[in-house]
């Protein structure tokens, strides 16, 4: 019989399962430690990938926005009676409270101090303050806003500002890496990363013109107005909204493309408003039945149902039943596409219209003009109406007058009681049935501007001195 040393026997006899597991754990731990110790500081002489160098350029251009709004508090008329309060020994009841909101913004013009943000971040604000990354704080001056794209511009007076260059979002592709920078929940500047999940998204409530970039970079309340940038530190979008069944981030965020934001910003700076061109058509979605009736095959687009007189569409010769398939050299696949493109057309531009009629495609070029009978800012009519947006009443409403779309707070019109949703039916006792009649009533030389309005079925008078 051959004897085997005891220590050698340990190598040949079967090992208990617990010992095997223990040895495996020790070997795994040693392997991880060796790998960690061997992790290189660089690869081929290059440092390990990091977003830090890009963010060093980006974060100084992203600001925190704090806005406050004074809101009137509704109280019982008895509380407004000094005798009642004195008799019952009640303290003075505050007549207003202050609402505060937080958001983000992006410096896009350092020399002029222009900051781009969302309209809903500063909408109705009485005071707007901007905090830079370096801790400096400034009061901002309101320049203009556009509810229909949810964009706004404010200005600060400051030295040594940093701006973000804008990227041509026509070159953006699904799958591109992106970084979101903002002020979520008021925590302070925060960075998240992801990719472009989709392009050309629409369907969000409350906005007329929609062509969103969708991203899975985490966007939360307070990120609104912040920057979505590429890995070169170029601005590709303004973070605006999230899809959230639960109220938290679920990886579906939306940003307004930088190209759209630039167009809107330029108009807000120049005019204080967005002056939109109009084709002068009413359209509807195309269905399978309409395709057969119009001999449109598999064409996608927007079916013309009405051509307004003296409009660009009328000049171009468009007719009801035409299917618009392209505008300004961009495809029109549905009604929302047409609205998005039309709403951002520059006034006075020559624009190509591609359409389908009687089984074949056609093309025409026409100059786009502003439809002042559809929408106009009050300031263009009278300085006393500064901050008021006026619009044509939809025909389906069945009433005549002029719709007050918006009234900016702290303006003469606001202080005189004019509110969004009011219907102007007369000016200085002269009836107006539509926006064209209202425009022809100006200029008005009287010292007082008296607007007869209808609000929720009741008549009011707003007098602006």
Annotated catalytic sites, by residue?
A: 120, 150, 224
| Distance (Å, whole) CA 445 – CA 174 | 57
DSSP state of 61: G
* Nearest by Cα to 260 from 244, 242, 240: 240
Q: Does residue 19 come out as left (phi exceeding 0), alpha (psi in the -120 to 50 range) or beta?
A: alpha
| Distance (Å, whole) CA 402 – CA 390 | 7
Instruction: Decide: 46 and 182 in contact? Cβ < 8 Å.
Output: no
Cβ contacts of 263 within 8 Å, gap of 6 or more:
344, 346
| Distance (Å, whole) CA 269 – CA 148 | 17
136, 215, 216, 220 from 252: Cα distances, Å: 33, 6, 5, 10
Q: What are phi and psi of 104, to 5 degrees?
A: -135, 170
Cβ contacts of 464 within 8 Å, gap of 6 or more:
384, 385, 412, 413, 416, 418, 448, 449, 450, 451
> Is the torsion defined by CA of 186, 191, 195, 200 positive or negative?
positive
Strand locations in 158-211 (E): 177-182, 190-201
Structure tokens at 233: 């530190």
For tokens 């229909």, the residue is 148
Residues forming a β-bridge with 352: 365
């Amino acid at each position: 019989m051959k004897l085997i040393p005891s220590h050698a026997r340990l190598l040949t006899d079967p090992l208990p399962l617990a010992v095997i597991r223990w040895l495996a754990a020790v070997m795994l731990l040693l392997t991880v430690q060796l790998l960690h110790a061997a992790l290189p500081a660089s690869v081929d002489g290059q440092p390990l990938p990091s977003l830090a160098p890009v963010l060093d350029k980006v974060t100084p251009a992203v600001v925190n926005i704090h806005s406050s709004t004074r809101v009137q508090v509704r109280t019982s008329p008895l509380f407004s009676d000094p005798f009642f309060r004195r008799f019952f020994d009640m303290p003075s009841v505050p007549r207003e409270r202050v609402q505060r909101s937080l958001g983000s913004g992006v410096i896009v013009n350092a020399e002029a101090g222009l900051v781009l943000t969302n309209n809903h971040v500063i909408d109705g604000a009485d005071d707007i303050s901007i905090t830079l990354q370096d801790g400096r704080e400034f009061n901002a001056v309101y320049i203009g806003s556009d509810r229909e794209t949810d964009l706004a511009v404010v200005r600060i007076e400051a030295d040594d500002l940093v701006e973000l260059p804008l990227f041509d979002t026509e070159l953006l592709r699904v799958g591109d890496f992106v970084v979101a920078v903002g002020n979520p929940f008021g925590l302070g500047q925060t960075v998240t990363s992801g990719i472009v999940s989709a392009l050309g998204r629409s369907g969000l409530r409350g906005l007329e013109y929609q062509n969103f970039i969708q991203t899975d970079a985490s966007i939360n309340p307070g990120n609104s107005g912040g920057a979505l940038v590429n890995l070169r530190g170029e601005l590709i979008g303004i973070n605006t909204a999230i899809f959230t069944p639960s109220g938290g981030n679920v990886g579906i965020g939306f940003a307004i493309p930088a190209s759209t934001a630039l167009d809107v910003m330029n108009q807000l700076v120049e005019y204080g408003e967005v002056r939109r061109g109009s084709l002068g058509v009413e359209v509807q979605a195309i269905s399978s039945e309409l395709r057969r009736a119009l001999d449109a095959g598999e064409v996608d687009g927007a079916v013309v149902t009405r051509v307004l007189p003296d409009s660009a569409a009328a000049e171009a010769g468009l007719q009801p039943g035409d299917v618009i398939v392209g505008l300004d050299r961009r495809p029109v696949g549905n009604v929302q596409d047409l609205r998005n493109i039309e709403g951002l057309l520059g006034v006075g531009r020559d624009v190509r219209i591609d359409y389908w009629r009687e089984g074949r495609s056609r093309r025409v070029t026409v100059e786009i003009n502003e439809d002042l009978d559809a929408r106009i800012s009050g300031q263009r009519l009278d300085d006393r109406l500064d901050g008021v947006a006026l619009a044509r009443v939809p025909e389906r409403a069945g009433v005549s007058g002029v719709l007050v779309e918006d009234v900016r707070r702290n303006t003469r019109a606001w202080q005189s009681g004019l509110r969004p949703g009011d219907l102007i039916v007369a000016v200085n006792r002269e009836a107006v049935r539509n926006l064209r009649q209202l425009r022809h009533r100006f200029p008005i030389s009287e010292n007082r501007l008296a607007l007869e309005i209808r609000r929720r079925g009741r008549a009011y008078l707003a007098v602006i001195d």
